[in-house]
């Protein structure tokens, strides 16, 4: 618990460092090229930035982001945009954070960027590790596509999304809307294909009573062949039961293997984190960023390990239950006597 508080203190110190004016002549917000903000607007923007930094120190990242956005509206400075990106990173708004950090680093003439470029580049790399791409192919072309409920602008590479479970919805006039769920890995690209079905039009109802057969239906004579229906049904049920039992057993082994692999990964990341920032403290901002990345990755690995063990245990119990309840194999001998009843002997 103490180590977590230590990491949080280091992170807040890092944010305060980025927010601190560099020299007296750049202490106030530097307007972008072509901006026409008044001195009062720039002064108000500086006050809002200071308030936002103070709020981040107390852990109120959402409130701080609101202050930074207000400051950016008054004076569109690189410093305000950088503070917005760092707050978005803390709130796990990865796509927005990536876009704003990329825009900040593109301003190579900014003294703020020149001073803090290394830390900003590390922040951008960390954000990009939380993102992936999803490529969507919809039939018919031109359909409206929504990613996680939002209509986004796509690129030739696809849609930029946060790694994890992604919901893709497609709709078009005259077609039935459809959706797909896909999983996007960090730094990976997932494909989602959707084919929309045309809406069904109303069919004309038939007038009058339904047609009837003119000839009476004659009863079918009893079959004279041996009856093996019950035998086939029992064998089919037994085979299906065994199939699911083996599938559950295989899933159990895979789940336990995944849990074990991520458990080892968790221990390795914990050692990396402790080596980077021992109890005595982090030596610099770069080491702090490395420790934070290792800590976040460790938590993710621990979560996957827990899920793997739980899934493996559930699948294993299911397999044991299925094997224990496999129907017993029975043999039925059917003898058909012409002109007499059927005699069924169960052996």
What is the pLDDT, as a whole number, of residue 35?
Answer: 52
Cα of first residue to Cα of last residue in the chain, in angstroms, is 68
Radius of gyration of the chain (CA): 33
Per-residue pLDDT reduced to its tens digit, 257-271? 888 988 888 888 788
Per-residue pLDDT reduced to its tens digit, 191-250? 999 999 999 875 444 444 444 444 444 444 444 444 444 455 566 777 887 788 788 888
Candidates 1.10.3720.10, 3.30.565.10, 1.25.40.10, 1.10.1060.10; correct CATH number of 2-128? 1.25.40.10
What is the pLDDT, as a whole number, of residue 266?
Answer: 84
| CATH of segment(s) 131-195 | 2.60.40
Structural contact between residues 88 and 96, judged by C-beta atoms closer than 8 angstroms: yes
Per-residue pLDDT reduced to its tens digit, 92-123? 999 999 999 999 999 999 999 999 999 999 99
Closest CA to 136 of 192, 80, 81, 186: 192
Domain boundaries, the chain: 2-128, 131-195, 229-335
């Amino acid at each position: 618990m103490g180590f977590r508080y230590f990491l949080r203190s280091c992170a807040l110190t890092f944010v305060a460092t980025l927010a601190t004016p560099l020299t007296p002549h750049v202490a106030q917000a530097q307007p972008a090229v072509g901006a026409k903000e008044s001195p009062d607007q720039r002064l108000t923007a500086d006050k809002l930035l200071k308030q936002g930094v103070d709020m981040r120190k107390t852990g109120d990242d959402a409130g701080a982001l609101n202050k930074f956005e207000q400051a950016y509206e008054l004076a569109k400075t690189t410093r305000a945009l950088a503070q917005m990106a760092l707050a978005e990173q803390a709130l796990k708004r990865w796509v927005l954070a990536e876009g704003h950090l990329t825009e900040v680093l593109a301003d190579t003439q900014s003294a703020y960027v020149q001073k803090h470029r290394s830390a900003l580049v590390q922040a951008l790399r960390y954000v990009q590790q939380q993102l992936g791409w999803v490529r969507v192919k919809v039939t018919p072309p031109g359909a409206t596509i929504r990613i996680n409920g939002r209509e986004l602008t796509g690129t030739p590479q696809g849609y930029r999304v946060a790694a994890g479970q992604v919901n893709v919805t497609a709709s078009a006039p005259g077609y039935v809307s459809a959706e797909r769920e896909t999983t996007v890995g960090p730094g990976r690209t997932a494909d989602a294909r959707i084919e929309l079905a045309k809406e069904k039009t109303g069919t004309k109802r038939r007038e009058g009573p339904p047609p009837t057969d003119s000839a009476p239906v004659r009863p079918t004579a009893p079959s004279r062949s041996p009856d093996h229906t019950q035998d086939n049904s029992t064998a089919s049920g037994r085979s299906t039961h065994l199939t699911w039992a083996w599938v559950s057993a295989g899933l159990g082994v895979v789940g336990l293997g995944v849990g074990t692999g991520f458990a080892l990964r968790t221990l390795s990341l914990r050692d990396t984190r402790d080596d980077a920032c021992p109890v005595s403290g982090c030596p610099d901002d770069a080491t702090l960023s490395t420790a934070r990345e290792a800590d976040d990755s460790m938590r993710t690995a621990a979560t996957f390990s827990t899920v793997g063990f739980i899934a493996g245990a559930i699948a294993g119990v299911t397999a044991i239950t299925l094997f224990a309840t496999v129907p017993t194999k029975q043999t039925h001998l059917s003898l058909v006597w012409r002109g007499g009843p059927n005699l069924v002997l169960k052996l």
